[in-house]
């Protein structure tokens, strides 16, 4: 699988890095933008969450279009449109404009992540899939490194060229996505069968391994849109995603604001702290991705990371010490990206390939609804109480509930079939 890893994963990693950066760079922009535009925490929370409403509503249509037009064309289209919209955030002047652009950004990016998971299911057998997903999923923490390293400097360009610092941030971090979308259109391979750089034996091995996986899962009764939302496994995975994405997205969107309130650090120092958390998160993803493929128990690893997540969020909410708050944030950053990497790399183990395109989109739709609702509730709680403490305590409980559901799913999958074959190092 070395050829596929090198031909596919660098392109998808960079694409997802831009996706994640353009999705959450508003968290750094908010340290200036909210004051400049007089946005309350509720306005910011609603705007932050509207991205995920647009994303959720168009997940399934977008994934169906990906199946029709092919991953290469559709992923490139997604990148070009979201890059243009992300850069356009620099023109926001009113709450309604903020709401509209965040919603449209979500519509533009809809289908990217579940589309990649579906695309990987046609390339990487189970014994390689966690490592494949982990290799592109490190883009999320690496985006934190990039944002943390550059956002403070971009914000310091305030009034340069007649633009606010937050406007420079959206412009500089948005337009490169458009350029890389054209690179994806040119170089991303469509499928093993049409890739001239694979030998006939290599193509046959991939086909055989993927067929073994489908035989183990069993044929689905239905694999249309309504069938997906009636599938107990899709619903359970969607519930896990709903709770998980609600917690990690909302905390990430507010992390610079939380750290500003809880510590005496300036925005550049907070940027470096976020960058350090990104490095820890990248390391955790790589280690856990390798471990999951070798022992076949990605769900057990996800549960343990969920417990760490819940404890870190609780400490961030209750700690009286700035140092302890920073340590808790780093613990949060170390595991928050590893959990969705582990769970989403297991979607293809739980769903037949004919269920996967619609099923993955349905799971991500349910997940993104959590990411829409939670930031608004978070902002309302902040405006009502004047601090982040209550919201962080509540989100710690939500993380514990999510961890419990992961254990339930693990038990059901183990009762249905043997774990996927592990692969030697």
Residue 373 within any structural domain of the chain? yes
Integer Cα distance of 263 and 78 in angstroms: 38
pTM (whole model) above 0.85: no
- Tokens 């998808």 -> residue: 12
Cβ atoms of 71 and 115 within 8 Å: the answer is: yes
Cβ atoms of 101 and 88 within 8 Å: the answer is: yes
- Tokens 């029709």 -> residue: 68
Total domains, the chain: 1
Give the pLDDT score at 425. Answer: 36
Residue 23 within any structural domain of the chain? yes
Residue 425 within any structural domain of the chain? no
Average pLDDT over residues 168-194: 90
Domain span including residue 245: 2-416
Residue 424 within any structural domain of the chain? no
Residue 307 within any structural domain of the chain? yes
Residue 44 within any structural domain of the chain? yes
Name the DSSP class of 337: T
Residue 421 within any structural domain of the chain? no
Residue-wise pLDDT for 33-50, tens only, equals 999 999 998 898 888 889
Give the pLDDT score at 419. Answer: 42
Residue-wise pLDDT for 373-392, tens only, equals 888 888 888 888 888 888 89
Report the CATH number that the domain containing residue 136 is assigned in CATH. 1.20.1250.20
* Cα–Cα nearest to 246, from 405, 412, 408: 405
Residue-wise pLDDT for 386-418, tens only, equals 888 888 999 999 999 999 999 999 888 876 554
Cβ atoms of 363 and 63 within 8 Å: the answer is: no
| pLDDT of 167 higher than 60 | yes
């Amino acid at each position: 699988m070395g050829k596929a890893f090198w031909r596919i994963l660098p392109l998808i990693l960079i694409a997802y890095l831009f996706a994640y950066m353009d999705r959450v760079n508003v968290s750094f922009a908010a340290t200036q933008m909210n004051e400049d535009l007089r946005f309350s925490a509720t306005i910011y929370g609603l705007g932050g969450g509207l991205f995920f409403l647009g994303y959720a509503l168009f997940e399934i249509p977008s994934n169906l279009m990906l199946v029709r037009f092919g991953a290469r064309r559709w992923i490139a289209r997604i990148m070009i449109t979201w890059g243009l919209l992300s850069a356009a955030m620099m023109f926001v002047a009113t709450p309604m404009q903020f709401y509209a652009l965040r919603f449209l950004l979500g519509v533009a990016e809809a289908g990217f992540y579940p589309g990649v998971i579906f695309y990987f299911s046609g390339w990487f057998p189970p014994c390689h899939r966690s490592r494949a997903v982990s290799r592109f999923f490190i883009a999320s923490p690496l985006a934190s490194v990039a944002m943390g390293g550059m956002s403070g400097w971009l914000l310091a360009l305030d009034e340069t060229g007649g633009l606010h610092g937050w406007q420079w941030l959206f412009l500089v971090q948005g337009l490169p996505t458009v350029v890389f979308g054209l690179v994806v259109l040119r170089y991303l391979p469509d499928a093993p069968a049409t890739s001239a750089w694979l030998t006939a034996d290599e193509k046959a091995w991939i086909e055989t391994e993927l067929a073994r996986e489908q035989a183990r899962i069993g044929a689905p009764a239905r694999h249309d849109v309504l069938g997906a939302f009636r599938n107990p496994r899709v619903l359970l995975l969607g519930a896990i995603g709903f709770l998980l994405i609600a917690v990690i997205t909302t905390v990430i969107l507010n992390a610079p604001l939380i750290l500003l309130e809880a510590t005496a650090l300036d925005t550049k120092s907070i940027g470096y702290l976020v960058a350090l958390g990104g490095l820890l998160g990248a390391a955790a993803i790589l280690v856990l991705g390798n471990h999951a493929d070798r022992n076949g128990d990605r769900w057990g690893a996800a549960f343990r990371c969920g417990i760490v997540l819940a404890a870190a969020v609780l400490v961030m909410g209750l700690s009286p010490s700035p140092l302890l708050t920073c340590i808790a944030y780093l613990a949060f950053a170390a595991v928050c990206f590893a959990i969705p990497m582990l769970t989403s790399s297991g979607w293809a183990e739980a769903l037949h390939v004919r269920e996967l395109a619609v099923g993955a989109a349905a799971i991500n739709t349910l997940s993104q609804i959590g990411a829409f609702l939670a930031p608004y509730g978070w902002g309302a709680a902040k405006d009502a109480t004047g601090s982040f403490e209550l919201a962080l305590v509540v989100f710690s409980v939500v993380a514990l509930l999510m961890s419990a559901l992961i254990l339930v799913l693990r038990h059901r999958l183990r009762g249905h079939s043997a774990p996927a074959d592990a692969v030697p190092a």
